[in-house]
């Protein structure tokens, strides 16, 4: 099927267009639309609520590309161009008077239709303006964004797959033309990838989308465009976990994303809301890769955890964590930072070691960051001991390792359930499961919004059950209930979805449990 982007025949005659262009109102709009400075045109940030899609149907676990339901994007940044001659594309001043009259009128009229949401009427006028003067006045570039908007709308309404593919191809042609006219290729690659990921995922293979994001991020480094961060973090996480890219490549990209997030938050300007949304999601996805052996190096762990140690140099929990993580990153034992952390550990956090045997060996491995090796030895000890209390205790410890260190939530829940079955009326395993659920906002959604909020319902179920069977954990359970109740959906949220407070609701993702609808 041949899809013609530029149809010179429109429903509006040339004579009518010329008549309209001569009116005072049209001239005022031309002043507004075509002669403004490029920076003056840039819009305020807008939040796009993207309908979440999931690449795998049965799970939101580590091997599923997380659907990011709420994303931030603005008009693609434009580069200042002081004169029309700087663009190789045809501009209004290069047209003869008749064509310029047509183009100027088309620019004005199509924008009115776009603002009114009437894409069908906007299309032929946009095609006319775009065909005659793709370079516009040599500065403005919004007509490319408008074209993408128009054809995306047509794509969503189309039923025929070939027609939908044609619309996707046209959107990508518009992006290519923008690069031809105004450059900024790295940002446009990010826009292409963004559209493939959210709008056209069935019309692009995963490799193509990933590579577009990758090229965009590598080109811009710490100044990567914010709208690529969340979706690329999700794709990167899944590719590393699935072994589709090397650890070396994955680590390099993850560190680049970390630096981009830090830079973006520090220099966010009028984009702080966007970067705050990113901060609720991407860092969590990247941090979860700490559970992959030999993924991050000493510098990564030191920059992150040694800094935390400096902020709380007497807190044993922080000290122990920094020590384990820096050893996991294979920091040299003579590294001054590690030496300082170990000295604080020896001074403030000494605990008598267990007697020689499997437990001591397991703890030794754990203290060096060899989590999987430690789990193997803990399991051997559990199999060999006849002490039920110890079986339960160390089974729960394995669950905590999977939760806090390896970041494998489904395995953590399995071992927590096993521990609970070993010891009756024990609330601690259910406290852990509740924390697993409550921590799943970035795994099951974008870190905020509906998909990330509803995980609090099954989490609170577990906290309530824990204190019901075990009064000794009531204080901790109540603390978590009070903490996460404020993050539940609002009454308006459930009303908009036709859900009633108190009704049954099944939370999917990796949790996959029925719960009760509540509001904050």
Model pLDDT, residue 335: 96
Inter-residue contact 299 to 292 (CB < 8 Å) = no
Give the length of the chain: 520
> How far, rounded to the nearest angstrom, does the alpha carbon of residue 46 sit from its chain's CA centroid?
17
pLDDT tens digits, 10-23? 434 344 444 444 43
Q: Which two tokens stand for residue 299?
A: 């510098």
pLDDT tens digits, 442-467? 889 888 889 999 999 999 999 999 99
Inter-residue contact 456 to 487 (CB < 8 Å) = yes
Model pLDDT, residue 244: 95
User: Within 13 Å and on the Cβ side, how many CA atoms surround 373?
Assistant: 13
Q: What is the DSSP string of 20-87?
A: HHTSHHHHHHHHHHHSS-HHHHPPPPEEEEPPP--SSSS--STTS-----EEEE-SPP----SSGGGS
Determine how many CB atoms are found less than 10 A away from the CB of residue 394.
23
According to DSSP, residue 507 is labeled E
- 414 three-class SS: helix
Model pLDDT, residue 352: 84
User: Within 13 Å and on the Cβ side, how many CA atoms surround 136?
Assistant: 24
Domain 358-516 has CATH 1.25.40.10: yes
Model pLDDT, residue 64: 33
| 251 contacts: CB under 8 Å, gap ≥ 6 | 289, 295, 296, 297, 300
- Give this prediction's pTM: 0.80
| 352 contacts: CB under 8 Å, gap ≥ 6 | none
Sign of the C-alpha dihedral, residues 182, 184, 189, 191?
negative
Model pLDDT, residue 354: 85
Model pLDDT, residue 406: 94
First-residue to last-residue Cα distance in the chain: 52
Inter-residue contact 198 to 156 (CB < 8 Å) = no
Distances (CA, A) of 369 to 62, 290, 445: 21, 10, 29
Q: Which two tokens stand for residue 374?
A: 């430690």
Domain ranges in the chain are 10-36+82-183, 42-77+187-290, 297-351, 358-516
Inter-residue contact 73 to 227 (CB < 8 Å) = yes
Give the residue ranges of the chain where pLDDT is below 70.
Answer: 1-85
Model pLDDT, residue 87: 87
Inter-residue contact 153 to 36 (CB < 8 Å) = no
């Amino acid at each position: 099927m041949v899809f013609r982007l530029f149809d010179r025949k429109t429903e509006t005659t040339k004579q009518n267009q010329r008549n309209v262009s001569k009116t005072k109102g049209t001239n005022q709009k031309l002043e507004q639309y075509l002669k403004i400075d490029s920076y003056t045109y840039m819009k305020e940030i807008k939040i796009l609520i993207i309908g979440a899609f999931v690449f795998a149907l049965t799970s939101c676990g580590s091997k599923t590309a997380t659907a990011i339901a709420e994303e931030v994007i603005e008009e693609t940044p434009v580069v200042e161009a002081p004169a029309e001659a700087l663009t190789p594309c045809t501009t209004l001043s290069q047209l003869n008077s008749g064509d310029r009259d047509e183009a100027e009128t088309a620019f004005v009229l199509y924008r009115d239709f776009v603002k009114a949401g009437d894409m069908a009427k906007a299309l032929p006028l946009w095609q006319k303006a775009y065909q005659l003067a793709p370079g516009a006045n040599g500065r403005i570039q919004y007509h490319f964004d408008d074209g993408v908007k128009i054809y995306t709308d047509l794509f969503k309404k189309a039923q025929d797959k070939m027609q939908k593919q044609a619309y996707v191809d046209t959107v990508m042609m518009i992006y290519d033309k923008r690069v031809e006219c105004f450059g900024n290729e790295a940002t446009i690659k990010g826009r292409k990838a963004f559209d493939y990921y959210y709008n056209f995922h069935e019309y692009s293979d995963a490799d193509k989308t990933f590579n577009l994001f990758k090229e965009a991020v590598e080109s811009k480094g710490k100044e990567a465009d914010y709208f690529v961060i969340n979706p690329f973090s999700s794709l990167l996480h899944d590719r590393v976990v699935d072994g589709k890219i090397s650890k070396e490549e994955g680590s390099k990209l993850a560190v680049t994303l970390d630096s981009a997030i830090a830079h973006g938050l520090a220099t966010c300007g009028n984009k702080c809301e966007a970067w705050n949304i990113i901060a609720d999601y991407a860092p969590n996805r990247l941090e979860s890769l700490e559970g992959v052996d030999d993924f991050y190096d000493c510098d990564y762990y030191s920059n992150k955890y040694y800094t935390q140690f400096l902020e709380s140099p007497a807190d044993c929990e922080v000290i122990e964590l920094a020590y384990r993580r820096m050893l996991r990153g294979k920091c040299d034992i003579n590294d001054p930072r590690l030496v300082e952390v170990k000295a604080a550990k020896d001074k403030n956090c000494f605990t008598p070691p267990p007697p020689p045997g499997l437990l001591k060996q397991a703890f030794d491995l754990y203290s060096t960051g060899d989590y999987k090796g430690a789990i193997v030895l803990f399991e051997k000890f559990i199999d060999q001991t006849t002490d039920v209390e110890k079986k339960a205790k160390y089974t729960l410890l394995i669950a905590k390792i999977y939760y806090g260190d390896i970041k494998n939530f489904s395995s953590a829940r399995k071992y927590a359930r096993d521990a609970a079955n070993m010891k009756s009326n024990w609330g601690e395993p259910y406290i852990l499961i509740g924390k697993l659920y409550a921590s799943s906002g970035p795994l099951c959604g974008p870190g905020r919004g509906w998909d990330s909020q509803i995980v609090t319902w099954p989490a609170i179920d577990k906290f309530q059950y824990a204190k019901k069977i075990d009064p000794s954990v009531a204080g901790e359970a109540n603390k978590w209930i009070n903490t996460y109740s404020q993050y539940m959906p609002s009454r308006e949220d459930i009303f908009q979805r036709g859900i009633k407070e108190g009704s049954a609701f099944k939370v999917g993702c990796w949790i996959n449990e029925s719960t009760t609808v509540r509001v904050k």
